[in-house]
Structure 1
Amino acid sequence: MSVMLTMLKYKEELSMAERVVLDYLIENKESIKDFSVEKIAEAAYTSPASVVRMCKKLGYKGFKDFKIDFILANAKVEIPENKEYVDVILGRDEHCGRSAIENNIRVLEDTLKMYDEKVTKQAAELIMAARKILIFGKGSSYLVCKDLEMKLRRINKFCIAQGESHEQLVDASFINQKDVIIFISNSGKTKEIVSAALLAKENKAKIISITKLGSSILADLSDIVLYTSSLEGEFRSGAMTSRISQMCVVDALFAHCAYTDIDRSVRTLEMTYKTFKKFKR
């Protein structure tokens, strides 16, 4: 994972002083090449020890290693801005339709910024090599599961999307290291999803999760994490931006699955198209 995503993912685990350092670095990322530990500590009104501790919590030996990675990462991507989200229904927005579209545009921009082509390709390779593919989600995330199921079945990769908790546990009981389970969960903390993920882990199945950026039990249990962006809070009128971001990541994942064996995928897509065409009036 890039240093940019690591910083955002583990921000909640940092102390207040370490968060201040992190926020300062994000705001002044263009100038970090000229900064020393002491200069950053002084500018962020904290101690050099807090700067070093932050680097170590992010997985680096010290500030020097962190600084190199940070500079290289900022040459390629920008950190998604932490914009305030207002629920278009609960916020009693008179222009709710336009606001909903604007929110979706913002979340797609953020999803693109954190998109990792290499990780998505690795996930696709696991899926295409799997003996069995299960796709688990709850609520609105289950609708995204069904979308991915249909896409994969159109390239002749049989899979099952499951949204009922008991059936998820049953299916997860009969998998092994040759199988893949894809979990789609905005929070990554849904009790039923975590229970199924723990069972999948016990059975040594490969776990791919599609979940929002940040620390979660589901992400920790996963072999591969595809991060989504969501501007929504836990209390919301409905899953809007979270679903849009999930669908976007699913489309990218499916594209890589199809490209893994592109000639075969084109043939199967043509075959299903001809089948559908027969039944059109």
Structure 2
Amino acid sequence: MSVVDRINDTYPELRNAEKIVADYILSNLSRRFDKSITDLAKAVGVSEATISRLSRSLGYSGYQDLKLSIAAGGAYDEVIPNLPAEIRETDQPLEISQKLSDALTNSIRDTRAFLDKQALGLAVDALCASNQIVFMGVGGAASICLEASHLFAKAGRAASYVLDDYGQIVTASTMRAGQTLVAISHTGQTKSVADALQLARKAGARTIAITSDRRSAVATAAETALITWKHEKTSVALFGDFIEGRACQLYLVDLLFILVMFRSEQNEKDNLRLTGNALKDFYFSISS
């Protein structure tokens, strides 16, 4: 097993200080790893004993053995931040296809297992009763907001999206009762999204968060939080979120849309037929 595989397998059982060292190793695999145990302890702010314990927890005889394993395995040549951990650059295309499929399937399965029935019900109630739905997210979450807005708009609901921090603060500050803000953030640490939730909630709007961390700023700022799959490994900043996290967000958006369509009394099913027929007539007229 590579260092990456060993860390991923043992991460849930590691102590907090050991996780700090493990995160540092994973975040620096693209660099030559030649720090002494003393230098590494100073760099991450832990004791040398913690590094020794981590080495043994990973199945190595000591820190020197861990360093040799990193060098011998060439882990820094194999790992790309925030791709599914099982995928290697040396894998064949069909092998990568299988690993990616398994990773996405497993992450959605875990998200389904995390679903809180009460929270899901509150989210659906809020959306059914809303006269306007606003989706907010930045970075990779922006694409999910676009898709969510598209789905609800085709069903005749007043749905929009705001993808920049300035617009999020402005929009949230003017939201009122009868409106619902749905905020999407994998890490839950997006400041503008968390602040927007607080503003909208204070103004009387309903608020829903879709995030992987129930203790995050985004989750705690919302009235209702739906929790997605979360990788045990810490996300590397500025490299984007885990691919699996995006798939889980889309899964929850689709689930909310279906449940609202079946339960709401705002003619969603009829509106889907109307928009579908309108689009068919429009594109048929172009082709003819």
1:237 to 1:178, Cα distance in 2 relative to 1, 3 A: closer
| Structure 2 residue matching 1:133: 3-state secondary structure | strand
Aligned counterparts of 2:195 and 2:90: Cα–Cα separation in 1? 38
Total equivalences in the alignment: 199
Counterpart code for 1:131: N
Deviation at 1:262, TM superposition (A): 6.4
Report matched runs for 1:1-281 at 5 Å.
Answer: 86=85, 88=87, 91-92=88-89, 94=91, 95-231=95-231, 233-235=234-236, 236=239, 239-261=242-264, 264-280=267-283, 281=287
TM-score by structure 2 length?
A: 0.63
Aligned counterparts of 2:218 and 2:248: Cα–Cα separation in 1? 18
Deviation at 1:183, TM superposition (A): 0.2
| Structure 1 residue matching 2:267: 3-state secondary structure | helix
Deviation at 1:160, TM superposition (A): 0.9
Larger radius of gyration: 2
State the Cα RMSD in Å: 2.5
Aligned counterparts of 1:260 and 1:146: Cα–Cα separation in 2? 23
Identity %: 20
Aligned counterparts of 2:154 and 2:243: Cα–Cα separation in 1? 26
Counterpart code for 2:244: T
1:223 to 1:97, Cα distance in 2 relative to 1, 3 A: same
1:222 to 1:122, Cα distance in 2 relative to 1, 3 A: same
Aligned counterparts of 1:93 and 1:103: Cα–Cα separation in 2? 18
Deviation at 1:251, TM superposition (A): 0.9
1:237 to 1:198, Cα distance in 2 relative to 1, 3 A: closer
Gaps of 5+ in 2: 1-11, 17-83
Counterpart code for 2:243: M
| Structure 1 residue matching 2:157: 3-state secondary structure | coil
Deviation at 1:164, TM superposition (A): 1.2
Contact 1:151 1:254 in 2 (8 A): yes
Aligned counterparts of 1:274 and 1:216: Cα–Cα separation in 2? 43
Deviation at 1:132, TM superposition (A): 2.6
1:191 to 1:129, Cα distance in 2 relative to 1, 3 A: same
Deviation at 1:279, TM superposition (A): 2.4
Aligned counterparts of 1:87 and 1:189: Cα–Cα separation in 2? 26
Report the counterpart of residue 61 of structure 1 in structure 2. Answer: none
Contact 2:201 2:223 in 1 (8 A): no
| Structure 2 residue matching 1:279: 3-state secondary structure | helix
Aligned counterparts of 1:202 and 1:117: Cα–Cα separation in 2? 25
Deviation at 1:87, TM superposition (A): 6.4
1:165-223, CA deviations, whole angstroms, 9 ceiling, x for partnerless residues?
11111111211233211001101111221222232233232210011144111111111
| Structure 1 residue matching 2:183: 3-state secondary structure | strand
